[in-house]
Amino acid sequence: MAASLGPVTSSLSLIRIVLVVICTLGVLFNGFVLLVLLYAKQSRCVSAKILITNQTLIDLLGCLSVIINSLTARYRRDYMKLPGAAVICIMFESSVLISTTNNASIINLVVLTLERYFKIV
């Protein structure tokens, strides 16, 4: 007799909901920070401002990709009939965008750290 997966799927749904809520807050707050950085007066350190703006944009895209990944996993049957379903599957369900934004974030943080280090030294 097969075991029921009821509690497992409900806990996964709860985790997915919490993840979408956190990432939605991340999109809102990163969008706000991006607007502040774009409309703020020019600072003395232009390179750091560019790197911080880039980091904010990367974080915003990372949060968006997690939300899209969660939604595509939930509604897989609905969009598989669309003409570009293979592209959607490759881009979102394989977590390509999430890993790309994670790698871009790491590289940008390393460059920002090196820029600050060489500015001090």
Under 8 Å between Cβ of 101 and 72:
no
Percent of the chain scored above 90 by pLDDT? 37
pTM higher than 0.85: no
With CA atoms as reference, report the closest residue to 68 among 104, 31, 32, 94: 94
pLDDT digits (tens, 9 = 90+) for 58-83: 999 999 988 888 877 666 666 667 77
| pLDDT confidence bin for 47, thresholds 50/70/90 | confident
